[in-house]
Amino acid sequence: MGFLSNWFKSSESSSDIAKSRLKLAITSDRAVCSPELMEQMKNDIIQVISKYVDIDTKGLDIKVTRTEIDDESGGTVNAVLASIPIKDKRPFRR
């Protein structure tokens, strides 16, 4: 049993894993955005950004999530989170 408990200690506890997986699943369940609409928005974002920088469309990740507001209220707000990898190493030189 010793090695098992060590193994559990070294990584995240299973309840934490459950919590974070649930949060993810629930946010996508709650998202009002249909997959088609999501795809359209994604394409539009790619179009606009590609005007300025060369982006890696494969690594692209855009989703609507509930995020905590950065103030004392502790409330939450729906937000579009986009992680868009840029191909160019020094993107903004002119």
Partner 1 sequence: MGEVIVITSGKGGVGKTTSTANIGTGLAMMGKKVALIDTDIGLRNLDVVMGLENRIVYNLVDVVENNCRIKQALIKDKRYPNLYLLPSAQTKDKSAVTPEQMKKLTGDLRNEFDYILLDCPAGIEQGFKNAIAGADSALVVTTPEVSAVRDADRIIGLLEANDIGQTHLIVNRLRADMVKEGNMMSSDDVVEILAIDLIGIVPDDEHIVISTNNGEPLTGSDCQAGQAYMNISKRILGEDVPYLDLEVTKSFFQRFASIFKR
- Residues in contact with partner 1 by CB under 8 A are 8, 13-16, 18-19, 21-23, 25-26, 29-30
Q: Give CA–CA dist 88/56, Å, rounded.
A: 9
Which one, 24 or 37, has the nearer CB to partner 1? 24
Supply the minimum distance, in Å, between the C-beta of residue 89 and partner 1.
40
Supply the minimum distance, in Å, between the C-beta of residue 81 and partner 1.
18
Q: What does the DSSP assignment read for the chain?
A: -HHHHHHHHHS--HHHHHHHHHHHHHHHHH----HHHHHHHHHHHHHHHHTTS-B-GGG-EEEEEEEE-SSTT--EEEEEEEE--BSSSSTT--
Which one, 22 or 37, has the nearer CB to partner 1? 22
Residue among 65, 63, 60 at smallest CA distance from 49 = 60
Which one, 8 or 52, has the nearer CB to partner 1? 8
Supply the minimum distance, in Å, between the C-beta of residue 11 and partner 1.
10
Which one, 18 or 80, has the nearer CB to partner 1? 18
